[in-house]
């Protein structure tokens, strides 16, 4: 047992030798333990939400949600613009794009936005907390919890070892999706009078599916070309995209195609009953 612990510590130390020294003293970046503990606590506590809320009334958080979602729109917009200005609209290649580990202003700008994207994944955990406090337990699906729960620890490693380059393409797309998503949530928080502006809900899921398709296509390039970018992250990003592509397609099918089918059945049944009633009326007249 002691030998296993010694080997694990040595392997960890050797791994940390490959870390980016520029981020070593940034907040939460000295060790993966805090991020890992937050993720574990999230996975443990969130399933207890219905029990902890018990017979309590749902909390009215409309004002809090309005300001939270407005803030997240601003944060997501800023992150999206920074990913563009520090790389994707400033010379990055959509093919092979190595990480720039230099201390140039452009390279440091990209590293900083990667770190901010990582920090934003902790803030997004409040989405689930708000669902629980409002007793919107149907929103706390496996897809939602799994997606939110693995992002902080995943991105700790991304920032620690590869803050920039090829792997930030999915973060660029994700930040755009999130600015759209929090715009939707913000409108929803304004109350029933704004429901007419929320007709595009299903298109949000379509955009998320499109996002993962693009990430799968983008990631798969490095399976066929040589590139000075850590392949471990390519495999992880690609696998992540495939898993969530399947899960979001399944969600879309259940949430929208099933509801459309039920609507058609209901309307056909209504027409059929209406026709039968008319025929019966004619027969008795």
Contacts of 227 (CB under 8 A, 6+ apart): 95, 96, 97, 98, 166
Report d(CA 79, CA 116) in Å as an integer: 7
> Taking a C-beta distance cutoff of 8 angstroms, is the pair 110, 164 a contact?
yes
Q: At what angle do helices 62-83 and 105-123 cross, to 10 degrees?
A: 160
Neighbouring residues of 23: CB distance < 8 A, sequence distance ≥ 6: 29, 111, 115, 159, 160, 163
Region label for 28, one of left (φ > 0), alpha (ψ between -120 and 50) or beta (otherwise): left
For 35, 52, 147, the CA distances from 125, given in Å and listed in that order, are 12, 18, 10
φ, ψ for residue 115 (rounded to 5)?
-65, -40
Size (the chain), residues: 285
Structure tokens at 43: 């996975």
Catalytic residue (choose from 147, 170, 218, 270): 147
147 is catalytic: yes
The candidate with the shortest Cα–Cα distance to 130, out of 139, 143, 121, is: 139
| Max CA distance (Å), the chain | 94
Q: CA 54 to CA 270: how far, in whole Å? A: 40
Residues annotated catalytic, as ranges: 147
């Amino acid at each position: 047992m002691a030998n296993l612990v010694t080997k694990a510590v040595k392997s960890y130390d050797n791994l940390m030798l490959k870390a980016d020294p520029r981020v070593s003293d940034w907040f939460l970046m000295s060790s993966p333990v805090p991020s890992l503990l937050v993720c574990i606590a999230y996975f443990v506590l969130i399933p207890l939400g219905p029990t902890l809320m018990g017979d309590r009334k749902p909390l009215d958080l409309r004002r809090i949600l309005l300001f939270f979602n407005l803030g997240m729109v601003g944060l997501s917009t800023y992150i999206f613009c920074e990913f563009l200005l520090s790389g994707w609209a400033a010379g990055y290649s959509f093919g092979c794009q190595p990480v720039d580990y230099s201390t140039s202003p452009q390279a440091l700008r990209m590293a900083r936005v990667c770190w901010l994207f990582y920090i934003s994944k902790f803030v997004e955990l409040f989405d689930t907390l708000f669902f629980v406090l409002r007793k919107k337990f149907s929103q706390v699906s496996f897809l939602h919890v799994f997606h939110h729960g693995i992002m902080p620890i995943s991105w700790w490693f991304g920032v620690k070892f590869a803050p920039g380059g090829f792997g930030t393409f999915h973060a660029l797309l994700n930040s755009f999706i999130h600015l759209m998503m929090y715009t939707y949530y913000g409108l929803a928080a304004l109350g029933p009078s704004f429901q007419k502006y929320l007709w595009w809900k299903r298109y949000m899921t379509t955009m998320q599916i499109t996002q993962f398709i693009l990430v799968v296509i983008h990631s798969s390039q490095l399976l066929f070309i040589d590139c000075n970018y850590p392949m471990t992250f390519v495999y992880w990003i690609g696998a992540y995209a495939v898993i969530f592509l399947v899960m979001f397609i399944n969600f879309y099918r259940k949430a929208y195609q099933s509801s459309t089918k039920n609507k058609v059945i209901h309307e056909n049944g209504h027409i059929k009953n209406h026709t039968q009633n008319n025929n019966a009326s004619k027969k008795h007249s």
